[in-house]
Chain A
Amino acid sequence: MLHLDPPLLVSLILLGCFGLMVLYSASGENAAEVQRQALTMLVAVVVMIFVAQFDVHFFRRWAPSMYAGGLALLGMVLLIGVEANGARSWLDLPGLPSFQPSELMKFVVPALLAWYLASRPLPPRFKHLFWSALMILIPAALIIVQNDTGTAIMVAMSGVFVVLLAGIRWRIIFSGLFALLLVSPAWYLFIAQEHQRNRILTFFNPYRDPTGAGYNIIQSQIAIGSGGLYGKGWGEGAQSQLDFIPESNTDFILAVLAEEFGLLGVLFLIALYLFVLARGLYISFGAQDMFSRLLAGSIILTFFFYVFVNMAMVSGLLPVIGLPLPLISRGGTSIVTLFIGFGILMSIKTHGHLKSR
């Protein structure tokens, strides 16, 4: 009997199919691209099922080694990494398809943190937090050096979610946030790069540079807004078909969805995501040991973070951060990593779940 979680599987497949539909339109009715995406998804589903067959304890045992291996790979990237899309984060090893080690860290880091914190009494004490911070910051720093800030944030957040779920005191959370707030002006003035500053400024006023930095968000809003309630129809979105939305098949694909399927379409998407999230939360709620709970919780919260940040950015609630919309945007390694995460969730559900009492 395969270890699977049917509800999760079905909703993921639904999301995937919807995503393929939208991608077809966003890529300009490019059948080849859709086929590629479908193939990637198929591979990802297979990987997911494969991962789900392993017992949770397996992950627990191998977490530290995987972490060490991840760091090594990140180190290799620094030395022989290949550049693509402005980030030098790919490894092109002979015999293997090129992949991004930073993507793998998205579940390796929470796994390690979960392993570390779960074996200690909770809530974590200061020295535990210190080590946790280190465990997060080292890979994050290595990824930042690759010039891939988006992924670095994701990796960091996945670790942070573990810490949050582990019960770090509210006091510390708030003082941490407060400290961040204090530091941000300094970051903005001294550390932030030009284009990052631009993104913040543009967020507050997209029209300060309507044909440059503000262009993406303005066009995106026009596309979304003009979709109305019912949308303009599949393949009929003028903004997308006439190339007004940049990155329309990656980061801004939600704009295409909103233009063509309207508010109803977006709500349907949100409903699907909510279902996945709910299922994920349920799985982490009912996990049998702390390691599983922390890992599952972090995975599903990271997923939420992904979804929310992208959708907020595309609709103008957040500054532009280069993050794709999971399962909808065109992707490669990122889709596989996502499904590995779901595979872990399924593993947790099927191997060590507390039966409802």
Chain B
Amino acid sequence: MSGKWQLKDHESERQIFNRRLIVAAALIFLLFAALILKLVNLQIAQYDYFSTRSDGNRLHSQYVPPARGLIFDRNGDLLADNQPIFNLTVVKEQVEDLDTALQTISTLISLTDDDIEQFNNRMQRNRVPYSSVPLRYVLTDEEKSRIAVNEHLFPGISIEPQFVRHYPLADLAAHSVGYVSEINREELDSLDDLQKENYGGTNHIGKTGIERTYEDILHGTVGYEIVEKNNRGRVMRRLDRTDPVAGKNITLHLDSQLQIAAEKALGDFRGAVVAIEPSTGGILAMVSKPGFDPNLFVTGISSRDYSVLVTDEINTPLFDRTTNPYPPGSTIKPFLGLGGLHNGQVDYEFTIEDPGYFRLPGVSYRWGDYTLRTVIGGGHGHTDLQKAIYQSCDTFFYDLGNRMGIDSIHNFMSRFGFGDNFTLDINYARTGVLPSREWKMASRGEPWYPGDTINSSIGQGYMWATPLQLATAVSIIANDGKVVQPRMLKAVEDEPFDPVIANPVPDVMLDDPDYWRYIKEAMTKVVHRTFNDTFRDYGTAFEAIAMADRDMPYKMAGKSGSAQLVGISQAVLKSEDIMVSDLNKDHGLFISFAPAENPNIKPQIAVAVFVENGEHGSSVAGPIAKQVIDTYLLDILQIDFAAMEAAEEPLAVAADD
């Protein structure tokens, strides 16, 4: 048979074909079996798994953040509230070309490099897919319009409203009220699981001040919502909702008007003012100047703004001067005096002849009297305890302190809050240093020298106190020893803040309660004792306060102080050739309370003023205290002293008591 014309064997061909067909049928059968097995696996064996994932695709639980509680001052004025702002947000999955979109947008609104950097940081963090990330906060109305008109140009980018914290007083109460800002990793980690849940929908947490101290009360409880979303992340329906519980509103003892007046009183100086209401311990004002605008921190401060704040080494606006320690200087003299009376080292009749300096027996060194800082003959001369206070005679107190000994000074002064934090809700306040033998050995490994005591007796050396502590201490004097622990919080919603204190600080009990009157009288003379025939027998603050305001309707008690930073001789200070840098000048301090020595009304306010590099406590810090007290007694409480005096029967209970 030749190749081309072979006859076809139809039968065998058919057999081949049939065999192949059978093989095909078998394969079809096997393959379908495999397919069915796979489907059974998916739809039966793994049904639960896929069912859950199917729900997971579409069902999302969202947190509904609670509204943050508001912060009011004692009069109901807002210190912190929540205001709506409008942000530009991006949903990355819906944006086609992010870079082009950003470029387009930067032609419409202001978009700094800093903004973009912060935006990128936020994008890097773990985020829920299809959730929006803010690109820029706080769009102005004009920017909003521009974006709205061009919105079709960039899908995935839209305007979202948000409630943010707003501080009406801005830099006037920045340190005390504090601010909220975005939660960082560390803070999140420090929360336990339950708390983390609560912060699910919130980005912000109180960072400083009251916002932080009362974070738990202000934050509220988070709510939940189960929503059904489609593939694009759009919410289709809400299925279930647990409403959030708003944070509670709180009222502070602060008086905005007083806060503003205190800040104004400091003028161009840097410094601090702390004012306390002695009867309640309520903190009426707490100003640290210069301040900063806490509103900048709420939506995330730009690194440029922040570096401005941080690198300002002179103003140090972020530094809270009210709760940081300085040498108290002569302001501690009244306390030392009380201690001396109580322990018996002095009495009303005790006097010294002040030569202007002090010497320890057997030691040649002379401790000079800094109040005078002159070498013109003699010091204060014939001086008793009261004169030593109203003339601020260092020599008297060198001697008194030397005789008391540092440990006895320590034990007595600690009852007034020195070296301690008596406040109920300012736990970040520093405690300064109230030195003692034990303290020096423990912290410096050195023994205590008599000279140390002498320096401490005028509030220098190792003695350090914060303006808050000074205000606390002077309000205890105003209260005749009754300790009402200072607090910022006045009420939560309608309920007054009156906590049961676990270990209350005991009142200061003196052998003879008349000592209070004696010392308070001395302090009143500081302000009111006029110049008279006796040499150097006037109150150090008389000229600056009582003489400057001859008609002041009430009496003010106080004590000045100068805290030395660098030992500069009087000669240098007075010389015209040498300029002493401002930053080396002494600090000025003044503690006070008012009204003093008034049978009709108890002291309503105790104030401590600290003026950085202000030099003289009497002439610089004193008038500031006076302004603050004037504002409080006359403008705010509007006490009519004249009427009270003229009344036939003295008013038993004063206003706001």
The answer to whether A and B belong to the same complex is yes
CB-CB < 8 A to A121: which residues of B? 6-9, 13
CB-CB < 8 A to B28: which residues of A? 277, 304, 308
Find residues 217-271 in chain A having any chain B CB closer than 8 Å to their own CB: 219, 221-229, 238-239, 242-244, 258, 262-263, 266-267, 270
Q: Does the CB pair B43–A263 fall under 8 Å?
A: yes
User: When A221-B50, A223-B54, A290-B17 are in contact, do A258 and B24 touch as well, CB less than 8 Å?
Assistant: no
User: When A211-B129, A242-B58, A304-B28 are in contact, do A225 and B51 touch as well, CB less than 8 Å?
Assistant: yes
Taken together as a complex, chains A and B put the C-alpha atoms of A139 and B18 apart, in Å, by 29
CB-CB < 8 A to B9: which residues of A? 121
* Interface check B36, CB cutoff 8 A: yes
Taken together as a complex, chains A and B put the C-alpha atoms of A329 and B34 apart, in Å, by 22
Q: Does the CB pair A225–B47 fall under 8 Å?
A: yes
Of chain A, the residue at the smallest CB distance from B6 is: A121
Q: Does the CB pair B16–A258 fall under 8 Å?
A: no
* Interface check B236, CB cutoff 8 A: yes
CB-CB < 8 A to B20: which residues of A? 164-165, 167, 297
* Interface check B38, CB cutoff 8 A: yes
* Interface check B35, CB cutoff 8 A: yes
Q: Does the CB pair B54–A315 fall under 8 Å?
A: no
Of chain B, the residue at the smallest CB distance from A290 is: B13
Q: Is the interface of A mostly helix, strand, loop or mixed?
A: helix
Taken together as a complex, chains A and B put the C-alpha atoms of A284 and B13 apart, in Å, by 14
* Contact code string B20-56 (vs A, CB < 8 Å = 1, else 0): 1100110010011011101110111011011101110
* Interface check A10, CB cutoff 8 A: no
Of chain A, the residue at the smallest CB distance from B59 is: A238
* Contact code string B332-344 (vs A, CB < 8 Å = 1, else 0): 0000000000000
A226's contact among B7, B31, B51, B231, by CB below 8 Å, is which?
A: B51
CB-CB < 8 A to A138: which residues of B? none
Taken together as a complex, chains A and B put the C-alpha atoms of A167 and B12 apart, in Å, by 11
A235 to chain B, nearest CB (A): 15
Interface size on B, residues (CB 8 A): 44
A243 to chain B, nearest CB (A): 4
Q: Does the CB pair B31–A308 fall under 8 Å?
A: yes
Find residues 220-259 in chain B having any chain A CB closer than 8 Å to their own CB: 228-232, 236
User: When A228-B47, A244-B58, A263-B43 are in contact, do A281 and B32 touch as well, CB less than 8 Å?
Assistant: no
Taken together as a complex, chains A and B put the C-alpha atoms of A228 and B39 apart, in Å, by 10
User: When A164-B20, A167-B16, A267-B36 are in contact, do A239 and B54 touch as well, CB less than 8 Å?
Assistant: yes
CB-CB < 8 A to A294: which residues of B? 17
User: When A242-B236, A317-B34 are in contact, do A221 and B42 touch as well, CB less than 8 Å?
Assistant: yes
User: When A293-B17, A301-B24 are in contact, do A225 and B43 touch as well, CB less than 8 Å?
Assistant: yes
* Interface check A166, CB cutoff 8 A: yes
Q: Does the CB pair A226–B232 fall under 8 Å?
A: no
A281's contact among B24, B43, B44, by CB below 8 Å, is which?
A: B24
Find residues 312-333 in chain A having any chain B CB closer than 8 Å to their own CB: 312, 315-317
Find residues 285-308 in chain A having any chain B CB closer than 8 Å to their own CB: 285, 290, 293-294, 297, 301, 304, 308
* Interface check A48, CB cutoff 8 A: no
A260 to chain B, nearest CB (A): 12
Taken together as a complex, chains A and B put the C-alpha atoms of A122 and B13 apart, in Å, by 6
Of chain B, the residue at the smallest CB distance from A317 is: B38
Q: Does the CB pair A263–B54 fall under 8 Å?
A: no
CB-CB < 8 A to A225: which residues of B? 42-43, 46-47, 49-51, 53-54
Of chain A, the residue at the smallest CB distance from B18 is: A285
Q: Does the CB pair A226–B35 fall under 8 Å?
A: no
CB-CB < 8 A to A301: which residues of B? 24
CB-CB < 8 A to A258: which residues of B? 39, 42-43
A285's contact among B21, B32, B53, B229, by CB below 8 Å, is which?
A: B21
* Interface check A123, CB cutoff 8 A: yes
Of chain A, the residue at the smallest CB distance from B29 is: A274
Taken together as a complex, chains A and B put the C-alpha atoms of A167 and B16 apart, in Å, by 6
* Interface check B638, CB cutoff 8 A: no
* Interface check B57, CB cutoff 8 A: yes
* Interface check A20, CB cutoff 8 A: no
A75 to chain B, nearest CB (A): 32
* Interface check A4, CB cutoff 8 A: no
CB-CB < 8 A to A267: which residues of B? 36
* Interface check A160, CB cutoff 8 A: no
* Interface check B185, CB cutoff 8 A: no
Q: Does the CB pair A242–B44 fall under 8 Å?
A: no
Q: Does the CB pair A315–B58 fall under 8 Å?
A: no
Taken together as a complex, chains A and B put the C-alpha atoms of A274 and B57 apart, in Å, by 34
Q: Does the CB pair A165–B13 fall under 8 Å?
A: no
B555 to chain A, nearest CB (A): 77
A340 to chain B, nearest CB (A): 22
A315's contact among B39, B53, B228, by CB below 8 Å, is which?
A: B39
Q: Does the CB pair A244–B43 fall under 8 Å?
A: no
* Contact code string B199-233 (vs A, CB < 8 Å = 1, else 0): 00000000000000000000000000000111110
A1 to chain B, nearest CB (A): 29
Q: Does the CB pair A165–B39 fall under 8 Å?
A: no
Taken together as a complex, chains A and B put the C-alpha atoms of A242 and B34 apart, in Å, by 30
Q: Does the CB pair A308–B32 fall under 8 Å?
A: yes
CB-CB < 8 A to B236: which residues of A? 242
* Interface check B125, CB cutoff 8 A: no
* Interface check B10, CB cutoff 8 A: yes
A217 to chain B, nearest CB (A): 12
Q: Does the CB pair B42–A243 fall under 8 Å?
A: no
A281 to chain B, nearest CB (A): 6
CB-CB < 8 A to B230: which residues of A? 242-244
Q: Does the CB pair B25–A281 fall under 8 Å?
A: yes
Q: Does the CB pair B16–A123 fall under 8 Å?
A: yes
Taken together as a complex, chains A and B put the C-alpha atoms of A21 and B378 apart, in Å, by 114
Q: Which of B24, B36, B39, B231 has the most CB of A within 10 A?
A: B39
CB-CB < 8 A to B54: which residues of A? 222-223, 225-226, 238-239
Q: Does the CB pair A316–B43 fall under 8 Å?
A: no
CB-CB < 8 A to A223: which residues of B? 54
Of chain B, the residue at the smallest CB distance from A301 is: B24
CB-CB < 8 A to B93: which residues of A? 211
CB-CB < 8 A to A122: which residues of B? 8, 13, 16-17
* Interface check A311, CB cutoff 8 A: yes
Taken together as a complex, chains A and B put the C-alpha atoms of A239 and B49 apart, in Å, by 15
B42's contact among A211, A224, A244, A281, by CB below 8 Å, is which?
A: A224
Taken together as a complex, chains A and B put the C-alpha atoms of A281 and B22 apart, in Å, by 9
Q: Does the CB pair B58–A226 fall under 8 Å?
A: no
Q: Does the CB pair B32–A270 fall under 8 Å?
A: yes
Instruction: Enumerate the 8 nearest inter-chain pairs by beta-carbon distance, A residue then B residue, closest first.
Output: A225-B50, A226-B54, A167-B16, A242-B230, A243-B231, A263-B43, A225-B42, A226-B50
12 pairs, A vs B, C-beta closer than 8 Å: A121-B7, A121-B9, A164-B24, A222-B53, A222-B57, A225-B43, A225-B50, A225-B51, A242-B228, A242-B231, A315-B39, A317-B34
A interface residues (Cβ-Cβ under 8 A, vs B): 121-123, 164-167, 211, 219, 221-229, 238-239, 242-244, 258, 262-263, 266-267, 270, 274, 277, 281, 284-285, 290, 293-294, 297, 301, 304, 308, 311-312, 315-317
- Beyond A228-B44, A270-B32, 17 additional pairs, beta carbon < 8 A: A121-B13, A122-B16, A223-B54, A225-B54, A227-B43, A239-B57, A239-B58, A242-B228, A244-B230, A244-B231, A285-B18, A290-B13, A293-B17, A304-B28, A315-B42, A316-B38, A317-B38
B interface residues (Cβ-Cβ under 8 A, vs A): 6-10, 13-14, 16-18, 20-21, 24-25, 28, 31-32, 34-36, 38-40, 42-44, 46-47, 49-51, 53-55, 57-58, 93, 129, 228-232, 236
